[in-house]
Amino acid sequence: MALLNLQLKDFRNIHHGRLVPAAGINLLVGANGSGKTSILEAIHYLGFGRSFRTHLTGRVIQQGEPAFTLFARVRQHDDSLPVGLSKTRSGDTRLKVGGRAAERLADLANILPIQLIHPEGYNLLTGGPKLRRAYLDWGLFYSNARFFTVWGQFRRLLKQRNALLRQLRPYRELSYWDQQLVSVGEELSLFRQQYAEAIEPVIRLIAADFLPEYDFSFDFFRGWDRQTMLAQVLEQGLERDRGLGYTQSGPHKAEIRIKARGMPVQDLLSRGQLKLLVCAMRLAQGLYLKTQSGQDCIFLIDDFASELDEHKRALLAHRLTELGAQVFVSAIDVAQLSQMITRDNSKLFHVKQGEITETQECE
């Protein structure tokens, strides 16, 4: 997968923008506030249906305009597929895939597997379990054909159970939903455990490049005690759940716990080291996806030089080049991107006050 072209209209400070990227490395250079991160944000929007910078749609739409529109043509095997997304200030969203209206953001996500590395990315390790659960679920979305269906079923059943808990319904009414929740929840948990076990050695392999001084351990926590069946956990916790008004244990509490030298990594590593571990985790997902399905990720890297010394930047650049993925990487100055420049398959774009200019092919 790769973007063959990208068009932006009224997105942040970009009124009309267009670029034809290289299949390999694309360097985006410009001062702070120039719009280079907005290009990464737009690509992320096409792949996830949301921004990585804000949850407020109004902040993404150019001031004075009613909506933003994004359009891209995506390479799929030997063909290309047009995709588009438009969003209004009121939140109305229009999607198009292959020239036809689409209803689900998952239809776009399925076409554009995207990995993001940015200055706040260490939150994957320092933030709540939801972020690490999302990490597992991203991998499963692309590697397990049943995952999205099972994940959706579980979310609906959990919502129904929580509604009944708040209504203080007797257990006989809850038991029907619990039986279904257990069946779907255990399948979802098994998927996550299998993916966690499969991705761990890939992360460890890449992390050994970035942080050779540490040996990392990864423990998948399924969201409830591993010695107890989910049905038993739900029944035993019923009164507690009623008091809280929601289900406290289950797959919706799953995560991966990562340690080094017997300590949680967020308590041991510096922020720069945490960022390197996150880089390894993102690269591992890209490598695993390519190995399993032959599908490439698109990598978005914002502020390439942030907290990475020259040696670590060179390692990251080498790993990305080795993957053969399409990469979009931003920096204030082209000198910060010297490790990313390859003899072929690279392009350099200057961004200034929302204007995008292809300067030259990198040499």
Amino acid at 225: D
| Residue 237 labeled ligand binder | no
| Residue 47 labeled ligand binder | no
| Residue 143 labeled ligand binder | no
Strand ranges for the chain from DSSP E: 2-11, 14-19, 25-29, 67-76, 79-88, 93-97, 100-102, 114-117, 216-221, 255-260, 263-264, 298-301, 326-331, 346-352, 355-361
Strand ranges for 227-283 from DSSP E: 255-260, 263-264
Residue 326: strand, helix, or coil: strand
Q: Which residue has the tokens 């579980």?
A: 154
| Residue 306 labeled ligand binder | no
Distance CA 269, CA 266 (A): 6
Length of the chain: 363
| Residue 345 labeled ligand binder | no
For 318, the token pair is: 């080498």
| Residue 293 labeled ligand binder | no
Q: Do residues 262 and 254 touch, judged by C-beta distance below 8 A?
A: no
| Residue 275 labeled ligand binder | no
Q: Do residues 85 and 97 touch, judged by C-beta distance below 8 A?
A: no
| Residue 98 labeled ligand binder | no
As annotated, the binding site includes: 30-37
Residues tagged in the binding site annotation for ATP: 30-37
